[in-house]
Amino acid sequence: MAQPITIDSEAVGQRIDNFIFKYLKGVPKERVYRAIRRGEVRVNRGRIQPDYRLQLGDQVRIPPLTLGRSTQPQPPRLEVKQELLQRIVYEDPGLIVLAKPAGMPVHGGSGIRGGVIELLRLIRPDLKFLELIHRLDRETSGCLLLAKKRQTLLTWHELLTRRQVRKQYLALVKNEWQGGARRIEAPLLKNTLSSGERLVKVDPQGKPAITLVRPLKIFKGMSLVEVSPLTGRTHQIRVHLQHVGHPIAADQKYGDPDFNRRLKRQGLKRLFLHAAAISTPDFGLCILLEPDLQHFLAHN
């Protein structure tokens, strides 16, 4: 039988998908997303998108979903635990900043038992509250913020909404960049396949998206650029750079296959996209380029 839940102040600002994940621990995430798409999950009797943020007093319908054990996160191996703890580059009473490694998802799902958030909850049982402030693609490394308090989460979400958070990425792209800094404005339309895979394309029917790009170094046939997204659309940087003829190196979804194969022969084994810095009027932090990417640049 479906359960009605009234949202209190503790849940305000949470995404509906994250709320369902926590409320129905062990339910496969693919099943939760399917329930949202089908309208089995409702807010105030209406359909919602997975990124809907809960408001005080919202009436949420929780459908009777079957629990599954296969997606429960397992206690991490000792080496994984040590690596994650070593990658905490900043911590205060309300905030954790992690240098996320490439290849690790920020949360479980799509057959993955545990991502950064699930593993950190297991590693740090002393934290009664721990939520992602924002997300990074699985293959992107760098600066990832997590909130240890509800108020910290709401404060950062407010800053993000007001565009008072500056994110800076480093990307290696195909072709030699012509001219100086460029502002890319192209609406993005997201399509989620039945498998749960997300594909994004430039489309007039999409949501507005703005990305600033500044060249840092030009190589033969490729360029190192600094990228600052002014909006936070899914796969925004990757799709915008592809759109202007500069796909990111080793991007298996939006990149150039021939370019990727050539770079793989030269030693690049992962997406060359790194979240290098994040700042607000009162906070700033930089994370150095990952050693494997530094090594590739130094030898190519």
The residues annotated with a catalytic role in the active site are: 137
CB 241 within 8 A of CB 204: no
CB 267 within 8 A of CB 296: yes
- Of 122, 257, 252, 243, which is closest to residue 189 (Cα–Cα)? 243
Other beta carbons within 10 angstroms of residue 55's beta carbon come to: 12
Backbone phi, then psi, for 221, in 5-degree steps?
80, 5
Strands 166-174 and 210-219: unpaired
- Beta bridge partner(s), residue 98: 88, 144
Q: Is 159 helix (H, G, I), strand (E, B) or coil?
A: helix
- Of 154, 87, 135, which is closest to residue 288 (Cα–Cα)? 87
Q: What is the DSSP letter of 196?
A: S
Which amino acid is it at 256? Answer: D
- Of 132, 211, 142, which is closest to residue 170 (Cα–Cα)? 142
